[in-house]
Copies of this chain bind each other. A is one copy, B any other.
Amino acid sequence: MHILVLGAAGMVGRKLVERLVRDGRLGNSEISRLTLQDVVAPTKPEKAGYPVDVVAGDFAVPGFAEKLVAGRPDVIFHLAAIVSGEAELDFDKGYRINLDGTRMLFDAVRLVGDGYKPRLVFTSSIAVFGAPFPDAIGDEFFHTPLLSYGTQKAIGELLLADYTRRGFFEGVGIRLPTICIRPGLPNKAASGFFSNILREPLAGKEAVLPVSEDVRHWHATPRSAVGFLLHAATMDTAKIGPRRNLTMPGLSATVGEQIAALKRVAGETVAARIKRVPDPFIIGIVDGWPRNFEAKRARELGFTTEEHSFDDIIRIHIEDELGGNFVA
């Protein structure tokens, strides 16, 4: 089985590739080849035991996607995107990458022809939803994004469903919760602080909280995100029907609940490293974001999370990223 990952140098992309290399298989199929794309060269995994092609380049440049799919990958993970904050600040760049790039990829697959019909897993986002919301957003709630990023993801979902209906590929779109705790350095996502306020204190550093503690949001660990991707790539799509885009399960928690969990798992000293510095730009963006979901359909279709409480989310980070230790 040949697998292509777009956005393989991103956080979720790297975790996915690590897992694929570790497993050596996807579902019942042995992996025989990996193609890893990102705008900067993704790290080539060692000891894969099969060919791994690393491609550095902008997938939204005309002709690029055609080359990526020329090797007829059986499964395509499309994780490449300009994140919310950056797409809001740079209108043209956001639309070029998130809309045009996605469409170019879909069209490249379509135009291979000759019976080629890969599984295509697309990471959408809960940013397709915009306030005001019901207490818990159901699976049939409409899309009224309040950011260009959410607009672009919603358009990607529509294209994915139509191209699947037309028989060009077997698409599954998954709306990831905000990933928490996001490892590594902060990126330009407006949601970054949800992770910063946990990750940085656990590493002995100060972190800035730009919103109030009653902000409620929807979270899942990187480990769960990878699990969602693998399930989307291997599940029986006959069960999905024409509604190809699914809100993934997650945990709904307030910032205050996040901090309480941090205190329970790591202690008061760690939690005291959080500094409150309100940021009107972030407050304005986050104000329109969803807080809680039913995610009934995804659960029925077999998507599950690894965590059952916010304490679990913090423990999984300490286990997966910090070798079991944190700076007390």
Contact = CB atoms under 8 A, between A and B. Distances in A.
Interface of A: 91, 130, 139-146, 148, 151, 154-155, 158-159, 161-162, 165-166, 242-243
A243 B145 CA distance: 9
Nearest to A100: B103
7 contacts: A91-B166, A130-B242, A140-B142, A142-B143, A144-B161, A145-B158, A148-B162
A140 B143 contact: no
B158 A243 contact: no
Given A141-B142, A142-B143, A148 B130 contact: no
A56 to B, nearest CB: 29
Contact of A166 (B148, B155, B159): B148
3 pairs of A and B residues whose beta carbons are closest in the complex: A151-B162, A142-B142, A140-B142
A167 to B, nearest CB: 11
Contact of A161 (B139, B151, B159): B151
Contacts of A140: 141-142
A140 B139 CA distance: 11
A148 B106 CA distance: 14
A158 B158 CA distance: 10
Nearest to A243: B144
Given A91-B166, A158-B154, A143 B146 contact: no
Nearest to A129: B142
A151 B159 contact: yes
A158 B162 contact: no
Contacts of A130: 242-243
A68 to B, nearest CB: 21
B146 A242 contact: yes
Contacts of A151: 158-159, 161-162
A180 to B, nearest CB: 26
A117 to B, nearest CB: 16
A162 B139 CA distance: 22
A158 B143 contact: yes
A144 to B, nearest CB: 5
A67 B165 CA distance: 36
Contacts of A165: 146
